[in-house]
Every structure is written in C-alpha cells, then in structure tokens.
Amino acid sequence: MSRVLNCIVAVCPDRGIGYKGDLPWHPTRLNNEFKHFRRLTVTRTPGAEDRRNVVIMGRRTWFSIPEKNRPLNDRINIVLSRQLEAPPAGAHHLARDLASALRLLDGPSTTGGLLADQVWVIGGSSLYSEVMETPGPRRLFVTQILKQFPSDTFFPDIGPTRYRLLPEYPGVSSELQEENGIQYRFQVYQSIDP
C-alpha cells in the first residue's frame, strides 16, 4: 500500500502562504500555530517510537526557517533542490525530486532506508502542487488564517473532487483560534479515492 503523504500549511484567504521569503504575517508570530505544526509533524504513530517522522521541503522553505531552528528537531529533514550539490548545512538529506526523496525512505535501515514513520510535506508552492495532484493517499492539514496579508507565494486550489474536508480529526481543535489579533481555524482534508 502506498504511503500517506501529509501536507501542512497555513494559508491566507487568497491562498497566500509566503511573502519575500517569509510568512505573510511576519513579523507577527503565531506561537500556538507553530506548536500545532510541531506537535503534528513530530508525533509518531503509536508503536512506531523507534522511527522518526520526515519533513520534506523545497530549498526556499528550508532557508525561510531561522538558522537557529534548522534542522527542525526530532524529524528527518529532506531538502529538495536541482541546483544544490550537497545538503545545506544542518539538513539530513538532499534529493533531486520528490520521487528520489521518497525512495530514501524505502527499505530497512540496513540497506540505507531511514526507518521513517509519518511523512510531512511542508512547502513550498510547487511541492504542494505536485503532491496534491499526483495519485495516492494524501491528507492536507490547513490552517485557514482569517486575515489577509500581502503574499507572493500561493497554495494550490484544493479541488473538491479530489479532497473532502473532514468534519473533525483526532487531536485537531475545531474551535476558532486567535493570537495577536489574528483569527484562524485548523482544517483537515483527505483525498477521495479515485
């Protein structure tokens, strides 16, 4: 059975996710939203505590993470780039494309497999598009930011024929959230089997 790929994103009403290499709402911090991101991406499946979760990201997303926070701890960090020759300092692995990144996770550790548990795609735009458009089981963990900010990087449209919004998801609050005057909601979408 193919592996579930989880995308996680925080998105403005116009689907903006980034501005000038940072988050659209920068320098405002949404600490509880970060905690939500961390908790979801770090938590392993019960019984898989000997494994580690994986975060896969594009080169610009990697460099958008403050240096002191790289790599994202307690997770295997894979950076995608066609230009870089070696993993950027601190990253665990470099891959030329998504398929090569996923191949790193195959197989037992004795053959170089990474003993991965959950796989999280954490941006940016083209990587989200690729994952959302290609076949296979997908989940989208979307924080809908209910305030507009200028953006130059966008999340793809979540096609209603391919994804359905789940009414609830274990461990994800359906309450309206608010921090620093910004309201937001957590949503989880699941791919509809073809």
Ligand X SMILES: NC(=O)c1ccc[n+]([C@@H]2O[C@H](COP(=O)([O-])OP(=O)(O)OC[C@H]3O[C@@H](n4cnc5c(N)ncnc54)[C@H](OP(=O)(O)O)[C@@H]3O)[C@@H](O)[C@H]2O)c1
> What is the binding site for ligand X (CB under 6 A)?
9-10, 17-18, 21-23, 57-61, 64, 80-84, 96-98, 122-127, 130, 153
CB-nearer residue toward ligand X: 73 or 83: 83
179 is catalytic: no
Closer residue to ligand X, CB minimum distance, 76 or 98: 98
Is 23 a residue of the active site?
A: yes
Residues 6+ apart with CB under 8 A from 107: 113
Q: Please, what is the minimum distance in Å from the beta carbon of residue 145 to ligand X?
A: 8
Specify which residues 143 forms β-bridges with: 10, 186
In whole angstroms, how close is the CB of 23 to ligand X at the nearest point?
5
CA 121 – CA 4 distance, rounded (Å): 11
Whether the Cβ atoms of residue 118 and residue 107 lie closer than 8 Å to each other: no
Asked if 116 contacts 53 with a C-beta cutoff of 8 angstroms, the reply is yes
Active-site residue, from 5, 30, 33, 102: 33
Point out the residues that are catalytic: 23, 33
